[in-house]
Amino acid sequence: MADTGVQRTRRVFRRPPGSRRVPLSPPQVLAILALLAFAAILAFMTVGARGSWDFILPFRGTKIWAMVVVGYAIALSTVLFQTITANRILTPSIMGFDALYALIQTIIVFMFGGFAFATLDPQLRFVIEVAAMVFFSTLLFRWLFSGAPRSLHLLVLVGIVFGVFFRSLSGLMQRLINPNDFAILQDALFASFNTVDPTLLLVATLAVAGVSIAALRMLPTLDVLTLGREQAINLGVDHKRTVTAILMMVSILVSVSTALVGPVTFFGLLVANLAYLLIRSHKHALIVPAAALISVICLVGGQVVLERVFGYNSALSIIIEFVGGLVFLVILLRGNVR
């Protein structure tokens, strides 16, 4: 059996009893992460700051705010998604969810024209997009995950190809609309922290807060879902309803992060797996904050280092793709995937 192979390697690599390092307890890890996140934010606000604080504070403050909201949304959505699918390699982005969001935006422009899209109140537009997103992603997920269980490899591959499919379809539609509409759409699709719309940020924050309250109320149930569908049902969780609810929450979070910064395929995978690694517990009350803090540290800290120190402007996403891709490959090859 595959299990015994894993076990054997573990035994070989285990340290002799005397030299065994005591791992940090989860609260200690959280404290250190919080400190690092705070330091990153402080550095972002101050490094290279020239001129009046009246200008810098709101300017950089908005960016930080957006980064924290996005970082948290990605971390929470990934952990929630991995919990309902009971594995650690699938993420909403890998399943093509953020490509789906971009497609929905494209379809709206395609059907109603760029003018309607641009003149629509951005908050209302966001709400419409999120509603469509929740609807379609739930549909897609239900279709993929219902019926006879499919192998995880199949799901990952299908997700990746769905991502390509959604992206190509938006690409095709973008070619079909007129160039003015296309320019408007480009603005919406190529969002970045530098061009965050403050009103959108407010709605996004409210949406994320709402989802968080809902998640907080189902914390113990989330822990049970980690055991997989059958065990969760055995322990009395209404599996179908709970999973659907969580999936809707995930869709909202993905919409938020994609609307604010665009798609980032591997970032969620990276922060969630780092959180599992550092927090040696299955409790969501510990994992989610850890993932969120790691996410903020990577986003803000990475931005400080790349933008302020090296002067690279938008290279962070490329580097995240590189590291994330490597991590994905390692997880895949280590065979921890069912």
Partner 1 sequence: MIRAENVSKAYGDTLVVDGVSLELPAGGITSIIGPNGAGKSTFLSMVSRLLKMSAGSVTVDGMDVTKTPSDELARRLSILRQDNHIAARLTVRDLVAFGRFPHSKGRNTKADKKIIDQSIDYLNLSDLSNRFLDELSGGQRQRAFVAMVLCQDTDYVLLDEPLNNLDMKHAMSMMKILRRAADELGKTVVLVLHDINFASWYSDYIVAMRDGRICHKGRVKEIMNQSVLAEIYDMDITVHEIGGRRVSLFYE
Partner 2 sequence: MTKLAAAILAVLALAGISLFIGVSDVSLPALLSTAPGDRPMQVLLISRIPRTLALILAGMAMAITGTIMQMLARNQFVEPSTAGTVESASMGILVVTIFAPGMPLIGKMLVASAFALAGTAIFMRILRQIPLRSVLMVPLVGIMLGGIIASVTSFFAYRYDLLQTLGAWTLGDFSGVLRGRYELLWLAAGLTGIAFFVADRFTVAGMGEDFTTNLGLNYRRVMALGLSIVAMVTAVVVVTVGAIPFLGLIVPNLVSMAMGDNVRRSLPWIAVTGAAFVLTCDIVGRLVRFPYEIPIGTVFGVVGSGIFLYLLLGRRTRLG
Per DSSP, the three-state class of 89 is coil
Any idea what DSSP says for residue 21?
Answer: P
Is the separation of the CB atoms in 110 and 177 below 8 Å?
yes
Residue 271's nearest CA partner among 301, 289, 294 is: 294
Q: Does 330 bind partner 1 (CB under 8 A)?
A: no
Binding partner of 329, given partner 1, partner 2, none, CB within 5-8 angstroms per partner class: partner 2
Q: Which is nearer to partner 2, 6 or 32 (CB)?
A: 6
Binding partner of 157, given partner 2, partner 1, none, CB within 5-8 angstroms per partner class: partner 2
Exposure of 72 in the CB half-sphere (CA atoms within 13 A) = 17
- Rule CB under 8 A: choose which of 61, 210, 220, 335 binds partner 1: 220
Query: Could you list the residues that contact partner 2 (CB under 8 A)?
Result: 2, 5, 148, 150-151, 153-154, 156-158, 160-162, 164-165, 167-169, 171-172, 175-176, 265, 312, 314-315, 318-319, 321-322, 325-326, 328-329, 332-333, 335
- Rule CB under 8 A: choose which of 67, 237, 296, 299 binds partner 1: 237
Q: Which is nearer to partner 2, 27 or 171 (CB)?
A: 171
Per CB under 8 A, contacts with partner 1 among 133-172 are 148
Closest distance between partner 1 and the C-beta of residue 218, in Å?
A: 10
Q: Does 334 bind partner 1 (CB under 8 A)?
A: no
Q: Does 10 bind partner 1 (CB under 8 A)?
A: yes
- Rule CB under 8 A: choose which of 216, 230, 314, 329 binds partner 1: 230
Binding partner of 31, given partner 2, partner 1, none, CB within 5-8 angstroms per partner class: none
**Interaction mask 82-101, partner 1, x per CB under 8 A:** x---xxx-------------
* CB-based contacts of 245, cutoff 8 Å, min separation 6: 214, 218
Per CB under 8 A, contacts with partner 1 among 274-293 are 276, 280-282
Binding residues for partner 1, total number by CB under 8 A:
34
Task: Give the Cα separation of 295 and 72 in Å (integer).
Answer: 7
Q: Which is nearer to partner 2, 35 or 164 (CB)?
A: 164
CB atoms within 10 A of CB 24: 14
Q: Which two tokens stand for residue 48?
A: 């290279």
Q: Sign of dihedral through CA atoms 242, 243, 246, 251?
A: negative
> Is residue 277 classed exposed, middle or buried when 0-12, 13-18 and 19+ CB atoms within 10 A define those classes?
exposed
> Is residue 289 classed exposed, middle or buried when 0-12, 13-18 and 19+ CB atoms within 10 A define those classes?
buried
Is the separation of the CB atoms in 67 and 307 below 8 Å?
no
Residue 191's nearest CA partner among 67, 76, 97 is: 67
Residue 186's nearest CA partner among 94, 129, 262 is: 262
Binding residues vs partner 1 (CB under 8 A) = 1, 3-4, 6-7, 10, 82, 86-88, 148, 219-221, 223-224, 226-231, 233-239, 276, 280-282, 338
